[in-house]
Amino acid sequence: MAPVRTSAPAGIRKWNKLKRLNRLFSAAAAALCGLLLPAAQPSAAQDSNAARPFVVLELFTSQGCSSCPPADKLLREVAEKARREKSRIYPLSFHIDYWNYIGWTDPYSGANASARQRAYAAAMNESGVYTPQLVVNGAQHFPGTRARQLQAAITSSLSHTPKADVSLSGVEKVSAKELKVRYSYSGAAKNSLLRLALVNSPDPNYVSRGENAGSTLSHTNVVRVFKTVELVQGSGSGEVSLELPDGFTHSNAQIISLVQNKANMHIDGASSIDLSEVL
């Protein structure tokens, strides 16, 4: 059965109003992006004994959605600025598969991304899903084109001390198709999960059909592998293997780790490791 298109919240992909506003969005986003990231956070040496504030931005998007490219662009601008300033902001692009039937099959889409979005909808008591949707730290959501709301969410998140801490202490290339990742964590609540997202920013690709026909689209930190590990309450460490997708390269790839509460889906801790620096 085809997915239900919800009529709320505002920003749902089919709204004509949003499509008209998209022409105005690019100019506004460029001006606003300079405001999105607050001053650089304290270095690890300054607060080595405490978990440092972070922001996890999960964008649920699709190449088959005409309202999504402005959200993809905004996420890319935030990611680039965060990388330059070494801010603890972790963007992830989850490409859902439920729009594939309308003319274009998104090459990065998967059922797991759609399932994760629906899990958020259930946790937040929402009746349905939409694109582009941005979920911040697993605790709030809004349309992914809302730059001012994103600015406020980033500022707020970076002002709070996290409940948990997680770090990736090493990555070993076991074979051409497998990585072994070592992790440690502290402050995990009961029923916490470790989520490991293998991401990269692939080359732009041309879309020949569907709502974005004729466009060349770019994406940031596309989730290629997503693995879950059950955690013991409190502190711990371990190893986990990640199977690499065909043709995956390490040049612009990262592993982003999340400590997530299974009950309410809130993200209590996060970190990342750049594969180009360790492999």
pLDDT in tens, the chain (279 residues): 344 444 334 444 444 444 444 444 444 444 444 445 554 444 333 334 468 999 999 999 999 999 999 999 999 999 999 999 999 999 999 999 999 999 999 999 999 999 999 999 999 999 999 999 999 999 999 999 999 999 999 999 999 999 999 999 999 999 989 999 999 999 999 999 999 999 999 999 999 999 999 999 999 999 999 999 999 999 999 999 999 998 888 888 999 999 999 999 999 999 999 998 887
Tell me, what's the pLDDT at 50? 63
- Structural tokens at position 277: 């620096």
In order of their start, the domains of the chain are: 16-39+51-278 (2.60.40.2550)
- Structural tokens at position 56: 């996890």
Sheet bearing 165-175, strands edge to edge: 165-175, 178-188, 234-243
pTM of the model: 0.85
Sheet bearing 133-136, strands edge to edge: 140-143, 133-136, 55-61, 89-95, 222-230, 192-200, 254-261, 267-274
Write b or e for each residue in 20-49: b if 16 or more Cβ atoms lie within 10 A of its Cβ, otherwise e.
eebeebeeebeebbeebbeeebeeeeeeee
Q: Is 41 helix (H, G, I), strand (E, B) or coil?
A: coil
Tell me, what's the pLDDT at 27? 45
How, if at all, do strands 89-95 and 55-61 pair?
parallel
Q: Is 125 helix (H, G, I), strand (E, B) or coil?
A: coil
Cross-strand pairs, 210: none
Tell me, what's the pLDDT at 124? 98
φ/ψ of residue 153, rounded to 5? -65, -40
Tell me, what's the pLDDT at 279? 79
Count of all residues that appear for the chain in the document:
279
